[in-house]
Amino acid sequence: MVDIHNLLGRTTLIIGDVNSGKTRYTFRIIQSFIANGIVDIAVLDLAPKKVRKIGGKITRITHPGVLYKTTDVTAPRLTGKGPEEIRTLAEKNAAVIERLFEEYLQTPRRHLFINDVTLYLQSGDMQRLEHVLASASTRIINAYYGKTFGESTLTRRERNRVDYLKRHSDVLIEL
């Protein structure tokens, strides 16, 4: 169990390198919310399916009070065959995630969890993300922040946006 009282009504950002346990830790927090009777929860799972043992979606929550939404995205740096294809895949991910955000905003919840926001940060609109985050009083987000992926325009953009989220979070958990 995770002590959730410091997380309620705040923005929490969980960061770490590949396979550092960001998704597992986020899942443990969700379980702790449910165990404490807090179920007005939405989980937006932006993670791709596992590719070469990297990535993976959060364990699906079936509790009736939890809204779980996901979509098919691609891991651009793991599947793209060059900078142009990587950029195109990131743009496609952002468009698909935008539709997921629209669906979520039809029935927002008090407590919002976002698994692997980095897939959106690579090409998405930060103002749009801020609008989605503003729909909830508790926001728990996890993001890749490491050295596994080499330097590229996409990686720099992603890192700059995670740095922005770090500056605007109340709680930072580094794994």
Closest by Cα among 157, 156, 161 to 141: 161
Q: Please tell me the distance from the alpha carbon of residue 50 to that of residue 83, in angstroms, as a whole number.
A: 21
Each residue's pLDDT tens digit, 103-139: 999 999 999 999 999 999 999 999 999 999 999 999 9
Burial of 115 (0-12, 13-18, 19+ CB in 10 A): buried
| pLDDT by residue, tens only, the chain of 175 residues | 799 999 999 999 999 998 899 999 999 999 999 999 999 999 999 998 765 666 778 877 889 889 999 999 999 988 889 999 999 999 999 999 999 999 999 999 999 999 999 999 999 999 999 999 999 999 999 999 998 888 889 999 999 999 999 999 999 999 9
Residue 89, pLDDT score: 95
11-174: which CATH topology?
A: Rossmann fold (3.40.50)
Q: Please tell me the distance from the alpha carbon of residue 92 to that of residue 130, in angstroms, as a whole number.
A: 20
Structure-block tokens of residue 79? 């599947």
Structure-block tokens of residue 23? 């998704």
Tokens 């995770």 belong to 2
* Domain residue extents for the chain: 11-174
Exposure b/e, 61-90, CB count within 10 A at least 16 = b: beeeebbbeebebbbbbbebeeeeebbebb
Taking the CB of residue 127, how many other CB atoms lie within 10 A of it? 8
Cβ atoms of 155 and 123 within 8 Å: the answer is no
Q: Please tell me the distance from the alpha carbon of residue 87 to that of residue 94, in angstroms, as a whole number.
A: 11
Residue 53, pLDDT score: 66
Q: Please tell me the distance from the alpha carbon of residue 129 to that of residue 150, in angstroms, as a whole number.
A: 25
Structure-block tokens of residue 165? 């989220």
Residue 95, pLDDT score: 98
